[in-house]
Amino acid sequence: MTATTIEHDAMRRALDIARNGPRGINPQVGAVLLSPDGNIIAEGWHRGAGTPHAEVDALSHLPADAARGATAVVTLEPCNHTGRTGPCSEALLEAGVTRVVYAVADPNPRSAGGAERLRTAGVEVEQGVRRAEAADLLESWFAVQRLGRPHVTVKWAQSLDGRGAADDGTSQWITGPEARADVHRRRGRADAIVVGTGTVRADDPSLTAREEDGTLRPHQPIPVVLGRSEVSKDAALRRHPEPFLQYDGDLDAALADLRERGVHRVFVEGGPTVASAFLRAGLVDEILVYLAPVLLGGSRLALTDLGVPSIDAARRLDVVRIERLGDDLLIVARPNAPHPDEGEGS
C-alpha cells in the first residue's frame, strides 16, 4: 500500500513541527498520529536530549487505547534502542498503532532497525514519503552520523572578481544589508562560529547573531578562535554572551572537542586562511558564497591555496540553490560527493 494524500499532508505537518525542536546532537523529528478515518488525533516533536522522542510525545497527548488502529506518520524511522528513553518501535506497538509511515531511514546503527521490528510484529510500514524534504531538514545531522564530527558550513563574501577585500585590507562592507541579515539568521541557527586569530586582530568581530534592529537573537553560537595568538583583553568577542573557545591549528582535534561539547553545526566565518584550511582538509559540508556585484582587483583573493595543482584536481561542487539578496547573490553549494540514500520516495 502506497502512502495516501492524507498521509503526505500529515508528513508535511510532521516536518513543520519537527522544526520546533532544538538543533543539536539529536535530530529534529516530528510525528503525527492519524485515526483510522484519517483525522489528526495527536502531534509531537522531540524537544532535546533526554526528553521523549516525537512518537512518544505524540502518544502522551492521548488517553489509554486511543491510538489503537492509528497510523503514525514520522519524519525519521522510529528508533529501536534503549538510551535515555526507550525504543519508539516498542512504544508504537504497545499503543496499538497498525501502520507507520516515515520519511527517511535512521543512519545510526545503534538506533536503526525500528522499521523491521514493526514489520515483524505485523505493522504496515511505508518509507520514503517526502524523503527529499526530510533529508534536507536532517542534512547536517546525517553528516554528523556519517562523519563522526560536527557539520561544517564555510561562508565568505566576495566581489565579482573573487576578492575578499580591497588591497588595503578593508572588507566592510562588500555585500549589502540583505546579505548581512541572512548571515545573522544563519549564525543564529549554528552552535558555534569559527574565525582565526587574524580576523580577530583585523576586524575585532563580536561573533554574535543579531536581529535587523541590532538586538541579540535568542540563540547565540559559541565563539571559537583558531590560532595560538592571544586574544586581546578588550576584544569584542570577550563580551559575547557565550565564553569563547580557542584551539591551535589542528582542525580535527578542534572539531572532535566541539562535538564532545554537544556542538552540532559549525559556521566558519574566518578569513581566506581559515576557510581554505577547512576546504583543503576536506572538512566542509556546505559552502555559502555571498557574491557582490563589485570589482576590486588586487591580490586579496577570497581563498588561498587549496592544494589544487591542476584543473584535474579541482574541488568540484554541487550547487544546491542560488538566492537573490538585494543586489547580491547567495550561492549555496556542497562538495561533489554522494549523500546517504534513505530509499526512494513514494
Average pLDDT, consecutive stretches of 10 residues, N- to C-terminus, the chain (346 residues): 89 94 81 94 87 92 92 93 78 94 85 87 94 88 83 93 83 87 91 92 89 88 93 92 92 92 88 92 94 90 89 90 95 73 36
Q: Where a domain ends, among 109, 137, 165?
A: 137
- Residues 72-108: b if buried by 16+ CB within 10 A, e if exposed: bbbbbbbbbbeeebebbbbbbbebebbbbbbbbbbbb
Same domain, 118 and 148: no
pLDDT at 83: 65
Same domain, 237 and 318: yes
How many angstroms separate the CA atoms of 29 and 44, rounded?
A: 9
Name beta bridge partners: 30. Answer: 45
- Report if residue 345 sits inside a domain: no
Same domain, 165 and 16: no
- Report if residue 343 sits inside a domain: no
pLDDT at 10: 95
Residue of 155, 156, 158 whose CA lies nearest to 296: 158
- CATH at 80: 3.40.140.10
pLDDT at 341: 37
Same domain, 64 and 85: yes
Same domain, 292 and 150: yes
Same domain, 58 and 133: yes
Torsion of CA 296, 279, 184, 194, to 10 degrees: -110
Of 7, 43, 55, 126, the catalytic one is 55
For the whole prediction, is pTM greater than 0.75? no
- CATH at 322: 3.40.430.10
pLDDT at 195: 94
Q: Where a domain ends, among 137, 171, 194?
A: 137
Same domain, 175 and 53: no
- Report if residue 340 sits inside a domain: no
pLDDT at 84: 64
pLDDT at 337: 60
Same domain, 205 and 188: yes
pLDDT at 249: 84
Q: In what order do the strands lie in the sheet with 328-335?
A: 245-247, 222-226, 192-196, 265-268, 151-159, 286-292, 328-335, 317-325
Same domain, 187 and 68: no
- Structural domain range at position 317: 144-335
Same domain, 86 and 192: no
- Report if residue 346 sits inside a domain: no
- Report if residue 66 sits inside a domain: yes
Same domain, 321 and 250: yes
pLDDT at 271: 87
- Report if residue 279 sits inside a domain: yes
Residue 102, C-alpha cell as written in the block: 516515515
Would you call 55 a catalytic residue per the annotation? yes
Is residue 169 classed as helix, strand or coil in its secondary structure? coil
- Report if residue 344 sits inside a domain: no
Number of domains comprising the chain: 2
CA distances from 136 to 46, 109, 312 (A): 17, 20, 30
Is residue 317 classed as helix, strand or coil in its secondary structure? strand
pLDDT at 312: 87
How many angstroms separate the CA atoms of 342 and 321, rounded?
A: 22
Q: Where a domain ends, among 94, 114, 137?
A: 137
pLDDT at 1: 65
Is residue 296 classed as helix, strand or coil in its secondary structure? coil
Q: Does a cis peptide bond (omega within 30 degrees of 0) precede residue 173?
A: yes
Same domain, 230 and 278: yes
Beta strands in the chain (DSSP E): 30-34, 40-45, 71-76, 99-104, 124-127, 151-159, 192-196, 222-226, 245-247, 265-268, 286-292, 317-325, 328-335
Please give the single-letter amino acid code of residue 143: A
Q: Are 124 and 1 in contact (CB under 8 A)?
A: yes
How many angstroms separate the CA atoms of 154 and 104, rounded?
A: 26
- Report if residue 45 sits inside a domain: yes
